[in-house]
Structure 1
Amino acid sequence: MIPVSISVLTICGIEELPAQSKRSVSHVLSVLDPELPEIATFADYGEHHRTTLRFHDIIDPADGRVMPEREHVESILKFGEELRASKEAREDGHLLVHCHMGISRSTAAMVTLMSQVEPELSDDELFARLRTIRPQAWPNSVMIAFADDLLGRKGRLIEALRGHYRHQLVAQPKYREWMPSLGRGREVDMAL
């Protein structure tokens, strides 16, 4: 059998992690709040490689909060490179990316990884694929802006994110009120 890099992609929140433990997850990217304790659930997973990043799901600076930074997205891309380099050592793989709720940081990380692995896909195709993996996806715009720059997308990823937000405001109407209440009104404005 020809080694496959990753054949299963999963995005979830912390509460969903126990249900994933029996799904042969080979790689985990955890994006967590800095103050959150270690997640015990991973002790129930089989052998896997895990990378953890810690910053808050915010788009504007706030006292006592850690903004997503360029270095965080560089770490996501480094994780992707390590994943690609390790493909010869396995026949298959299951990548799980999670954050607190599986809506924003994890979906931004996943679309960044997909952009890295499949640069020939259009930016709109990337977000359409993201919605098939996680229908409630609302990627963090700060992370996407860093990814756009680091991947040389020249603003195309950001423009596709606007279209994704427009789609989500129809598909997930509660986001029109929910996102501004979380300090993410600027992202709703991007869609309009």
Structure 2
Amino acid sequence: MVTQFPIHICSLDAVRETDISIYDGVITIENSRIEDPFRVESEHSKQLVLCFDDISVPLDDFIEPQEKHILQALSFADRIGEGSILIHCHAGISRSSAIALAIIAKRLGAGKEQDAIGVLEQINPHSRPNKSIVWLTDEILERDRKLYDIAYKSMWLTN
């Protein structure tokens, strides 16, 4: 899919079979209880590893998405600039889609929330962004619930 955003979203299984050398950066979103983590072997910091679970409310010993995770992803994407980014989580549907939406929404700017959803749908039509991440992104980017509300109406947000 060709968009102005060179972002690719996939699952943990898919990333293990992907030639990651074609990407300028990789955002890995791991479960808190991962047994076989994926790491990019590179002399340069090409990978950001975030560790949180696909939940929206506190649950036992699981880690819920936090503002710091989104800020780290946005900062990493800013450093990559116009380069390509591969974003993956366990299934490639919820957390990775929500982080991709955060990056897209920031780059497009305020008032372009519907466009951000459209770009995400082009990149991955099966996206079901984690609603906590979308909510936090909306707050971080000061979108006054516009991003969250449009995402909620346009897509089935998970959790």
Identify whether the pair has TM-score above 0.5, normalized to the shorter chain. Answer: yes
Q: TM-score range by the shorter chain?
A: 0.7 to 0.9
Q: Runs of 5+ in structure 2 lacking a partner? A: none
Render the CA deviation track for 1:13-43: whole Å, top value 9, x for unaligned.
0111133216611110111112213225x44
Alignment of 1:1-192 (within 5 A): 8-21=6-19, 24-36=22-34, 37-39=36-38, 42-43=40-41, 49-84=46-81, 93-119=83-109, 122-165=112-155, 184=159
Equivalences, count: 155
The verdict on how the C-alpha distance between 1:21 and 1:163 changes in structure 2, with shifts beyond 3 A counting, is same
Counterpart residue type for residue 130 of structure 1: L
- Distance 1:121-1:130 versus aligned 2 partners, 3 A rule: farther
Q: Does the CA contact (< 8 Å) of 1:31 and 1:106 recur in 2?
A: yes
Query: TM-score if structure 2 supplies the norm length?
Result: 0.86
For 1:48 and 1:74, locate their aligned partners in 2 and report how far apart those are by CA, in whole Å.
Answer: 17
- Check the 8 A contact 1:29/1:96 in 2, yes or no: yes
Secondary structure at 1:20 match in 2? coil
Cα separation, 1, equivalents of 2:94 and 2:143 = 20
Q: Aligned partners of 1:144 and 1:59: how far apart in 2?
A: 10
Contact 2:28 2:38 in 1 (8 A): no
Q: Which has the larger radius of gyration?
A: 1
- Matched residues in 1 for 2:78 and 2:85: separation? 13
Pick closer, same or farther for the CA change 1:115–1:22 going to 2, 3 Å.
closer
Which consecutive segments of 4 or more residues in structure 1 shift more than 4 A? 45-48
Distance 1:50 1:22 in 2: 10
> Structure 1 residue 95: deviation in Å?
0.8
Change in CA separation of 1:126 and 1:141 when aligned onto 2, cut-off 3 Å: same
Tell me the CA shift for residue 80 of structure 1.
2.4
The CA RMSD measured in Å over matched residues stands at 2.4
Contact 1:24–1:46 (Cα < 8 Å) also in 2 = no
Greater percentage in helix: 1
Q: TM-score, normalised by structure 1?
A: 0.72
- The separation in 2 between residues aligned to 1:147 and 1:81, in whole angstroms, is 15
The share of aligned pairs that are identical, in percent, is 21
Report the residue type matching 1:39 in the other structure.
Answer: F
Gaps of 5+ in 1: 1-5, 88-92, 169-174, 185-192
> Does the 8 Å CA contact 2:12/2:89 hold for their aligned counterparts?
yes
